[in-house]
Structure 1
Protein backbone atom coordinates (compact mmCIF):
# COMPACT_ATOMS: atom_id res chain seq x y z
CA UNK A 1 0.00 0.00 0.00
CA UNK A 2 1.35 3.39 -0.95
CA UNK A 3 1.72 5.86 1.89
CA UNK A 4 -0.10 8.34 -0.35
CA UNK A 5 -3.19 6.16 -0.58
CA UNK A 6 -6.38 8.14 -0.33
CA UNK A 7 -9.78 7.16 0.92
CA UNK A 8 -12.33 6.88 -1.87
CA UNK A 9 -16.06 7.47 -2.21
CA UNK A 10 -17.97 6.01 -5.14
CA UNK A 11 -21.44 7.41 -5.81
CA UNK A 12 -23.00 5.30 -8.54
CA UNK A 13 -26.11 3.14 -8.91
CA UNK A 14 -24.54 0.63 -11.33
CA UNK A 15 -23.56 -2.24 -9.01
CA UNK A 16 -21.59 -4.10 -11.67
CA UNK A 17 -19.50 -1.00 -12.42
CA UNK A 18 -19.02 -0.22 -8.72
CA UNK A 19 -17.83 -3.79 -8.02
CA UNK A 20 -15.37 -3.56 -10.91
CA UNK A 21 -13.98 -0.24 -9.66
CA UNK A 22 -13.60 -1.61 -6.13
CA UNK A 23 -11.76 -4.69 -7.43
CA UNK A 24 -9.37 -2.56 -9.50
CA UNK A 25 -8.66 -0.19 -6.60
CA UNK A 26 -8.04 -3.07 -4.18
CA UNK A 27 -6.07 -5.19 -6.66
CA UNK A 28 -3.74 -2.29 -7.44
CA UNK A 29 -3.67 -1.34 -3.74
CA UNK A 30 -4.70 2.24 -4.48
CA UNK A 31 -6.88 2.54 -1.38
CA UNK A 32 -8.02 0.41 1.53
CA UNK A 33 -10.84 2.75 2.51
CA UNK A 34 -13.75 2.80 0.09
CA UNK A 35 -17.29 3.96 0.81
CA UNK A 36 -20.09 3.42 -1.71
CA UNK A 37 -23.47 5.07 -2.16
CA UNK A 38 -26.19 4.19 -4.69
CA UNK A 39 -27.46 7.74 -5.04
CA UNK A 40 -26.53 11.32 -4.27
CA UNK A 41 -28.97 11.64 -1.36
CA UNK A 42 -27.31 8.82 0.62
CA UNK A 43 -23.89 10.35 -0.05
CA UNK A 44 -25.01 13.86 0.83
CA UNK A 45 -26.41 12.66 4.16
CA UNK A 46 -23.08 10.95 4.87
CA UNK A 47 -21.12 14.14 4.17
CA UNK A 48 -23.52 16.24 6.23
CA UNK A 49 -22.95 13.82 9.13
CA UNK A 50 -19.19 14.14 8.64
CA UNK A 51 -19.48 17.88 9.27
CA UNK A 52 -20.84 17.03 12.72
CA UNK A 53 -17.60 15.30 13.76
CA UNK A 54 -18.76 11.71 13.82
CA UNK A 55 -15.51 10.05 14.85
CA UNK A 56 -15.81 6.69 13.08
CA UNK A 57 -16.81 8.28 9.81
CA UNK A 58 -14.34 8.11 6.93
CA UNK A 59 -14.14 11.43 5.13
CA UNK A 60 -12.92 10.43 1.69
CA UNK A 61 -10.33 12.50 -0.11
CA UNK A 62 -11.60 11.47 -3.55
CA UNK A 63 -15.17 11.20 -4.83
CA UNK A 64 -16.08 9.43 -8.07
CA UNK A 65 -19.58 10.70 -8.90
CA UNK A 66 -21.92 9.33 -11.53
CA UNK A 67 -24.39 11.79 -13.08
CA UNK A 68 -27.39 9.58 -13.81
CA UNK A 69 -28.84 8.05 -10.66
CA UNK A 70 -32.27 7.74 -9.04
CA UNK A 71 -33.44 9.79 -6.04
CA UNK A 72 -30.69 12.45 -6.34
CA UNK A 73 -28.59 12.60 -9.48
CA UNK A 74 -24.98 13.78 -9.72
CA UNK A 75 -25.91 17.35 -10.71
CA UNK A 76 -28.18 17.71 -7.68
CA UNK A 77 -25.49 16.20 -5.43
CA UNK A 78 -22.93 18.74 -6.67
CA UNK A 79 -25.34 21.60 -6.06
CA UNK A 80 -25.96 20.49 -2.46
CA UNK A 81 -22.32 19.49 -1.83
CA UNK A 82 -21.18 23.02 -2.74
CA UNK A 83 -23.27 24.30 0.19
CA UNK A 84 -21.53 22.09 2.78
CA UNK A 85 -18.00 21.58 1.41
CA UNK A 86 -16.50 24.38 3.52
CA UNK A 87 -17.75 22.66 6.68
CA UNK A 88 -15.80 19.48 5.86
CA UNK A 89 -12.37 19.43 7.46
CA UNK A 90 -10.56 17.63 4.61
CA UNK A 91 -9.91 18.72 1.06
CA UNK A 92 -11.94 16.50 -1.26
CA UNK A 93 -11.30 16.01 -4.97
CA UNK A 94 -14.56 15.35 -6.80
CA UNK A 95 -14.45 13.63 -10.19
CA UNK A 96 -17.57 13.38 -12.32
CA UNK A 97 -17.60 9.94 -13.93
CA UNK A 98 -20.12 9.35 -16.67
CA UNK A 99 -20.69 7.38 -19.84
CA UNK A 100 -21.89 10.63 -21.45
CA UNK A 101 -19.57 12.08 -24.06
CA UNK A 102 -21.91 15.02 -24.62
CA UNK A 103 -19.79 18.19 -24.70
CA UNK A 104 -22.53 20.05 -22.78
CA UNK A 105 -22.19 17.65 -19.83
CA UNK A 106 -18.40 17.78 -19.94
CA UNK A 107 -18.24 21.58 -20.14
CA UNK A 108 -20.92 22.00 -17.47
CA UNK A 109 -19.06 19.71 -15.06
CA UNK A 110 -15.67 21.32 -15.71
CA UNK A 111 -17.13 24.78 -15.12
CA UNK A 112 -18.11 23.91 -11.52
CA UNK A 113 -15.50 24.86 -8.92
CA UNK A 114 -15.85 21.75 -6.74
CA UNK A 115 -15.34 19.42 -9.73
CA UNK A 116 -11.71 18.40 -10.24
CA UNK A 117 -12.27 16.77 -13.62
CA UNK A 118 -14.68 14.87 -15.85
CA UNK A 119 -13.86 11.22 -16.60
CA UNK A 120 -15.61 9.05 -19.15
CA UNK A 121 -16.60 5.50 -18.20
CA UNK A 122 -14.95 3.13 -18.08
CA UNK A 123 -12.13 4.82 -16.17
CA UNK A 124 -8.72 3.62 -17.28
CA UNK A 125 -6.26 2.20 -14.76
CA UNK A 126 -3.84 5.04 -15.54
CA UNK A 127 -6.46 7.56 -14.43
CA UNK A 128 -7.04 5.74 -11.13
CA UNK A 129 -3.29 5.66 -10.51
CA UNK A 130 -2.84 9.38 -11.28
CA UNK A 131 -5.72 10.34 -9.02
CA UNK A 132 -5.00 8.00 -6.11
CA UNK A 133 -1.22 8.28 -5.88
Structure 2
Protein backbone atom coordinates (compact mmCIF):
# COMPACT_ATOMS: atom_id res chain seq x y z
CA UNK A 1 0.00 0.00 0.00
CA UNK A 2 1.41 3.38 -1.04
CA UNK A 3 1.52 6.06 1.65
CA UNK A 4 0.69 9.67 0.88
CA UNK A 5 -1.44 11.07 -1.87
CA UNK A 6 0.10 12.03 -5.17
CA UNK A 7 -1.22 12.85 -8.58
CA UNK A 8 -0.28 10.36 -11.26
CA UNK A 9 -0.78 11.23 -14.93
CA UNK A 10 -0.92 8.63 -17.70
CA UNK A 11 -0.68 9.88 -21.29
CA UNK A 12 -1.32 6.85 -23.49
CA UNK A 13 -3.77 6.04 -26.28
CA UNK A 14 -3.89 2.30 -25.48
CA UNK A 15 -7.22 1.60 -23.71
CA UNK A 16 -6.03 -1.78 -22.44
CA UNK A 17 -2.92 -0.25 -20.92
CA UNK A 18 -5.02 2.53 -19.37
CA UNK A 19 -7.25 -0.13 -17.80
CA UNK A 20 -4.25 -2.05 -16.42
CA UNK A 21 -2.70 1.08 -14.88
CA UNK A 22 -6.05 2.07 -13.31
CA UNK A 23 -6.43 -1.41 -11.77
CA UNK A 24 -2.89 -1.45 -10.38
CA UNK A 25 -3.11 2.10 -8.98
CA UNK A 26 -6.46 1.33 -7.37
CA UNK A 27 -5.01 -1.80 -5.76
CA UNK A 28 -1.85 -0.08 -4.50
CA UNK A 29 -3.45 3.15 -3.35
CA UNK A 30 -7.23 3.48 -3.72
CA UNK A 31 -7.27 7.23 -3.01
CA UNK A 32 -4.45 8.02 -5.43
CA UNK A 33 -5.53 10.56 -8.04
CA UNK A 34 -5.01 9.29 -11.60
CA UNK A 35 -5.35 11.57 -14.62
CA UNK A 36 -5.62 9.80 -17.98
CA UNK A 37 -5.16 11.42 -21.38
CA UNK A 38 -5.26 9.66 -24.76
CA UNK A 39 -2.70 11.85 -26.52
CA UNK A 40 -0.04 14.44 -25.85
CA UNK A 41 -2.24 17.36 -26.84
CA UNK A 42 -4.81 16.54 -24.15
CA UNK A 43 -1.97 16.20 -21.64
CA UNK A 44 -0.20 19.44 -22.54
CA UNK A 45 -3.46 21.39 -22.59
CA UNK A 46 -4.20 20.12 -19.08
CA UNK A 47 -0.72 21.16 -17.90
CA UNK A 48 -1.09 24.63 -19.41
CA UNK A 49 -4.51 25.06 -17.80
CA UNK A 50 -3.01 24.27 -14.37
CA UNK A 51 0.01 26.60 -14.48
CA UNK A 52 -0.08 28.55 -11.24
CA UNK A 53 -2.03 25.79 -9.48
CA UNK A 54 0.84 23.61 -8.26
CA UNK A 55 -1.43 21.38 -6.15
CA UNK A 56 -3.42 20.44 -9.29
CA UNK A 57 -0.38 19.37 -11.33
CA UNK A 58 0.81 15.74 -11.41
CA UNK A 59 3.77 14.52 -9.41
CA UNK A 60 4.49 11.74 -11.89
CA UNK A 61 3.80 11.41 -15.63
CA UNK A 62 3.89 8.10 -17.49
CA UNK A 63 4.21 9.02 -21.15
CA UNK A 64 3.72 6.84 -24.21
CA UNK A 65 5.71 7.74 -27.33
CA UNK A 66 3.50 6.63 -30.22
CA UNK A 67 0.10 8.31 -30.07
CA UNK A 68 -2.20 10.08 -32.51
CA UNK A 69 -2.69 13.88 -32.61
CA UNK A 70 0.45 14.68 -30.56
CA UNK A 71 2.99 11.97 -29.77
CA UNK A 72 5.17 11.72 -26.69
CA UNK A 73 8.14 13.48 -28.27
CA UNK A 74 5.97 16.44 -29.30
CA UNK A 75 4.50 16.53 -25.79
CA UNK A 76 8.01 16.68 -24.32
CA UNK A 77 9.09 19.47 -26.68
CA UNK A 78 6.05 21.51 -25.65
CA UNK A 79 6.44 20.60 -21.97
CA UNK A 80 10.03 21.89 -21.95
CA UNK A 81 8.76 25.32 -23.03
CA UNK A 82 6.29 25.57 -20.12
CA UNK A 83 8.53 24.00 -17.45
CA UNK A 84 9.78 27.39 -16.13
CA UNK A 85 6.17 28.46 -15.51
CA UNK A 86 5.16 25.23 -13.75
CA UNK A 87 7.31 25.77 -10.65
CA UNK A 88 6.95 22.15 -9.56
CA UNK A 89 9.23 19.20 -10.13
CA UNK A 90 7.30 16.62 -12.14
CA UNK A 91 8.87 13.21 -12.65
CA UNK A 92 8.43 11.84 -16.17
CA UNK A 93 8.95 8.27 -17.34
CA UNK A 94 8.61 7.11 -20.92
CA UNK A 95 6.31 4.09 -20.96
CA UNK A 96 6.45 2.52 -24.39
CA UNK A 97 6.09 -0.74 -26.24
CA UNK A 98 9.08 0.36 -28.33
CA UNK A 99 12.33 -1.41 -27.47
CA UNK A 100 14.03 0.54 -30.25
CA UNK A 101 17.53 1.72 -29.21
CA UNK A 102 16.95 4.94 -31.19
CA UNK A 103 13.95 5.81 -28.99
CA UNK A 104 15.95 5.06 -25.85
CA UNK A 105 18.80 7.30 -27.03
CA UNK A 106 16.36 10.08 -27.96
CA UNK A 107 14.85 9.86 -24.46
CA UNK A 108 18.30 10.47 -22.93
CA UNK A 109 18.42 13.86 -24.70
CA UNK A 110 15.61 15.13 -22.46
CA UNK A 111 16.99 15.95 -19.01
CA UNK A 112 13.51 15.84 -17.51
CA UNK A 113 13.00 12.14 -18.33
CA UNK A 114 13.78 9.96 -15.32
CA UNK A 115 13.66 6.62 -17.14
CA UNK A 116 12.38 4.45 -19.96
CA UNK A 117 10.05 1.54 -19.17
CA UNK A 118 8.95 -1.09 -21.68
CA UNK A 119 5.22 -1.88 -21.60
CA UNK A 120 3.44 -3.44 -19.99
CA UNK A 121 4.44 -1.98 -16.65
CA UNK A 122 4.02 -4.43 -13.79
CA UNK A 123 2.72 -3.85 -10.29
CA UNK A 124 6.20 -3.84 -8.70
CA UNK A 125 7.52 -1.28 -11.18
CA UNK A 126 4.54 1.02 -10.67
CA UNK A 127 4.74 0.64 -6.90
CA UNK A 128 8.43 1.65 -7.00
CA UNK A 129 7.63 4.71 -9.11
CA UNK A 130 4.83 5.81 -6.79
CA UNK A 131 7.00 5.30 -3.72
CA UNK A 132 9.75 7.45 -5.25
CA UNK A 133 7.46 10.47 -5.61
Q: Same fold (TM over 0.5)?
A: yes
Q: What TM-score, normalized to structure 2?
A: 0.90
Report the CA distance shift for 1:105/1:30 in structure 2 as closer, same or farther (over 3 A).
farther
Other-structure match for 1:18:
18
Contact residue 2 and residue 127 of structure 2 kept, 8 A: no
Residue of structure 1 equivalent to 2:69: 71
Cα contact 1:2–1:30 (8 A) shared by 2: no
Q: CA deviation at 1:16?
A: 1.2
3-state DSSP of counterpart to 2:56:
coil
The correspondence of residues 77-96 of structure 1 with structure 2, limited to 5 A, is 77-96=75-94
Structure 1: tracts of 5 or more residues without a match? none
Note the residue ranges of structure 2 that are not aligned, 5 or more in a row: none
Q: 1:126 to 1:2 in 2, by over 3 A?
A: closer
Alignment match, 1:113 = 111
* Cross-structure match for 1:129: 127
2: CA distance between counterparts of 1:40 and 1:32? Answer: 22
Give the helix-richer structure, 1 or 2.
Answer: 2
Partner of 1:43: 43
TM-score (norm 1): 0.90
